[in-house]
Amino acid sequence: GEDVEQSLFLSVREGDSSVINCTYTDSSSTYLYWYKQEPGAGLQLLTYIFSNMDMKQDQRLTVLLNKKDKHLSLRIADTQTGDSAIYFCAVSRTSGTYKYIFGTGTRLKVLA
Amino acid sequence: DTEVTQTPKHLVMGMTNKKSLKCEQHMGHRAMYWYKQKAKKPPELMFVYSYEKLSINESVPSRFSPECPNSSLLNLHLHALQPEDSALYLCASSQGGQNYNEQFFGPGTRLTVL
């Protein structure tokens, strides 16, 4: 089945850029999402990208998709302490299934 | 209204109790989901309702019973739970259909089973 992997932990200094990586195995993954989860809260959709795109920019967020390597990344520019959270990537297909496959999650810690 | 609401926020129950979790959305979405999330883990899909019909049950034990009374409302009935069922229960909704299915999540219900 589909496997989605992320590195567990990332620490950056306030004002630096953060890059969170995600790799997946199913080449038929068509929609790819990034969610943010703060402690004790639900998941907040940050951004998404379709598999026919290579890049998407949304304010401080840049998503890069390398379909050949099945690699997705989320870059957060000018990282702030409020960005400290767990970030999940998720992938889904167009086959009509509503299933997301979530990555393992990356805990981002922003140091002041 | 782009919000998914869940009640209660916290729930503590004994193993013999019966309780229900409630989820509501008014975005006109036709797909609704229940997830279970343990600490520091990704959410695990439990059930999916599509157009008010149960379309996916991820082999969830029968002590969890979902219900979708109408297109805006999703319930999860709990009975005879075990301590290992303690977790954050998340509800989500999406447009439905076979196209792009961005899921919007509620804040979750933190369940503790004693």
Q: What is the pLDDT of residues B25-49, one digit of tens each?
A: 999 999 999 999 999 899 999 999 9
pLDDT of residue A43: 95
pLDDT of residue B65: 97
Pick the more confident residue, B78 or B95: B78
Residue A76 pLDDT class (50, 70, 90 cuts): very high
Q: Outline where DSSP puts E strands in chain A.
A: 4-6, 9-13, 18-24, 31-37, 43-50, 55-58, 61-66, 71-76, 85-92, 101-102, 106-111
Residue A40 pLDDT class (50, 70, 90 cuts): confident
- For B108, which of A42, A45, A94 is closest by C-beta distance? A42
Residue A108 — left, alpha, or beta (φ > 0 → left; ψ -120 to 50 → alpha)?
beta
Residue A74 confidence (pLDDT) above 80: yes
Query: Are the Cβ atoms of A35 and B48 closer than 8 angstroms?
Result: no
Residue A95 pLDDT class (50, 70, 90 cuts): low
Residue B89 confidence (pLDDT) above 60: yes
pLDDT of residue B40: 87
**What's the rounded mean pLDDT across residues B69-73?**
95
Residue A29 pLDDT class (50, 70, 90 cuts): confident
pLDDT of residue B45: 94
Q: Which of B6, B33, B52, B100 to probe by mutation at the A interface, max A CB count within 10 Å?
A: B100
Which residues lie across from B76 on neighbouring strands?
B21, B66
Residue B66 confidence (pLDDT) above 70: yes
pLDDT of residue A97: 63
**What's the rounded mean pLDDT across residues B48-55?**
92
pLDDT of residue B97: 72
Residue A15 — left, alpha, or beta (φ > 0 → left; ψ -120 to 50 → alpha)?
left
Interface size A-B, in CB pairs within 8 Å, comes to 61
> Nearest to residue A22, comparing CAs of A86, A97, A93?
A86
Residues in chain A whose Cβ is within 8 Å of chain B: 31, 33, 35, 40-45, 48, 50, 86, 88, 92, 94-100, 102-105, 107
Query: Are the Cβ atoms of B90 and A94 closer than 8 angstroms?
Result: no
Q: Measured between CB atoms, does B13 come within 8 Å of chain A?
A: no
Query: Are the Cβ atoms of A44 and B41 closer than 8 angstroms?
Result: no
B17 — phi, psi (to 5°)? -75, 160
Which residues on chain A are in Cβ contact (under 8 Å) with B106?
42
pLDDT of residue B2: 67
The number of residues making up chain A comes to: 112
Query: Are the Cβ atoms of B104 and A86 closer than 8 angstroms?
Result: no
